[in-house]
Amino acid sequence: MTSGATTLAVRGGTPVRTRPFPTWPVFDGSDEARVLEALRSGKWGRLAGDQVDQFEQRFAAMHGCRYGIAMVNGTVTLRIALMAAGLQAEDEVIVPTYTFLSTATAVVEANAVPVFVDVDLATFNLDPAAVQAAITPRTRAVVPVHFAGQTADLDAIRDIAARHDLFVLEDAAHAHGARHWERPAGSVGHAGSFSFQSSKNLTSGEGGILVTNDEQLAARCRSIHNCGRVPGGVWYEHHVISGNYRLGELQGALLNAQLERLERQTATRDANGRALAARLAAIPGVHPQQRPEWCTRHSQHLFMLRLDAETFGAPREAAIEALQAEGIPCVSGYGYPLPEQPLFRNKAFGPYLPHARARLDYTQVSCPHSQRLCREQAVWLDQSLLLGTDEDMRDIGDAFEKVHAGLQTT
């Protein structure tokens, strides 16, 4: 007979955890005051107010970058960066197979061809050897994603890029506050793209920013995000294909308030992530994202691990169900690698890439690591859990150990 404490909650035992974990977003009177100030100013568009302007300067400075261009989201930032980098129709851009949709759709929307490359099974980030192997005479850019908030192998990727004259666009949508050899994520490549969508570690509900030290690139991005206008130009004069992708002042105000907390929150997530990874790694079959030396600060947008069913003694789905019943929110993440999305399988690109379509075959992309992560092994815990206390991390560790032990008996 097992006691109530060791019987899995999924089988009627007492859950490890009944208290809620920290929720997201975090806000207080300082956010209210800042947004109210912007509201009462009546200057709600960025062309009238100074909230977005201030935020751009603060965020860029925090990254050691001279330029920051805030936009409506972190998909548009990727697309506009690629457009501004001078990509021509049907140039190739290397992207990972294990990432959110936008990393690749931004490429299509820039009228370029996404070329998918598998990730490393230990770090969940682009494998530089696979990047090298994917380069063709048409390759113009590579978009490393700092998955879960851990910086990709930027040193190797930058070396490859330098040899082949590629534009390196960091997709840092998960990596606010992360550091690569102490350099802020997003500031290492030619440009860095961030998202401020609701789930992100810095959020205004929706939003994004592009940071760079390249003056020409910044000027092009600013123009494309503002209807193709140029500094000092005539108001109704539009110089490039473009649109209105400006961020609004209320969001800028909120970001200015939220930014005050980012440093402290990132330090907490990073410390909790290290502690949790060390504890969970001791459980057979549990493989937390392997952290290379270069990632001197992990932003832990996700705490991600691989669960190897054979060694763990139970399939991922059973483990997730049991963990949830123990009071630990966790999910399996993406259902399949990006090239298997119907959009890519069917090349449903609308007016984009009409000539390239015949030579594209996304059914043949080889990405065994991403497939294994999606179909069998990935487990995600949300960033807000990592804002918790030592005791909260202990509960997560206890629950994993309990579930591991409990599922052996089935």
- Of 171 and 326, CB closest to ligand PLP: 171
> Where does 118-163 show beta strands of DSSP type E?
139-142
In the complex, minimum distance from the CB of residue 285 to ligand PLP, in angstroms, rounded to a whole number: 27
| Residue from 51, 97, 99, 377 in contact with ligand PLP (CB under 6 A) | 99
Alpha carbon distance 50, 64 (integer Å): 21
Cis peptide before 15 (omega within 30 of 0): no
313 binds ligand PLP (CB under 6 A): no
Q: Please give the size of the binding site for ligand PLP, defined by CB under 6 A.
A: 14
Show the binding pattern over residues 55-94: x = contacts ligand PLP (CB under 6 A), - = does not.
------------------xxx-------------------
Establish whether 43 is a catalytic residue.
no
Which is the catalytic residue, given 43, 200, 347, 402?
200
* Spatial distance between the Cα atoms of 74 and 195, rounded to a whole number of angstroms: 4
Encode burial over 83-92: b for 16+ CB neighbours within 10 A, e otherwise. bbbebeebbb
Beta bridge partners, 287, equal: 306
CA-closest candidate to residue 380, choices 295, 261, 273: 273
Shortest spacing between CB 330 and ligand PLP, in angstroms = 18
Q: Which is nearer to ligand PLP, 245 or 312 (CB)?
A: 245
Give 253's contacts (C-beta < 8 A, 6+ positions apart). 34, 35, 37, 38, 51
Selection from 131, 236, 148, 134 nearest residue 185 by Cα:
148
**Stretch 174-193 residues interacting with ligand PLP (CB under 6 A):** 174
Q: What's the CA angle centered on 383, arms 382 and 387, to 5 degrees?
A: 125
Q: Which of 114, 208, 339, 388 touches ligand PLP (CB under 6 A)?
A: 208
Beta-strand ranges (E) seen in 45-106 are 67-71, 92-96
Of 131 and 145, nearer to ligand PLP (C-beta) is 145
Nearer to ligand PLP, 111 or 195 (CB): 195
Contact 213, 66 (CB under 8 A): yes
109 binds ligand PLP, rule: CB under 6 A: no
The structure tokens 């990393």 sit at: 103
Q: Which helix (H) or strand (E) holds 305?
A: strand 302-307
Among 98, 100, 312, 344, which residue sits at the site for ligand PLP (rule: CB under 6 A)?
100
Stretch that binds ligand PLP, among 5-13, 171-179, 273-281, 316-324 (CB under 6 A): 171-179
Minimum separation from the CB atom of position 83 to ligand PLP (A): 16
**In the bound complex, which residue of the shown chain has the CB atom lying closest to ligand PLP?**
74
Is the Cβ of residue 248 or residue 285 nearer to ligand PLP in the bound state? 248
Query: What region does 228 belong to: left with phi over 0, alpha with psi -120 to 50, or beta?
Result: left
Catalytic residues: 200
**Residues near ligand PLP, by CB under 6 A:** 73-75, 99-100, 102-103, 145, 171, 173-174, 195, 197, 208
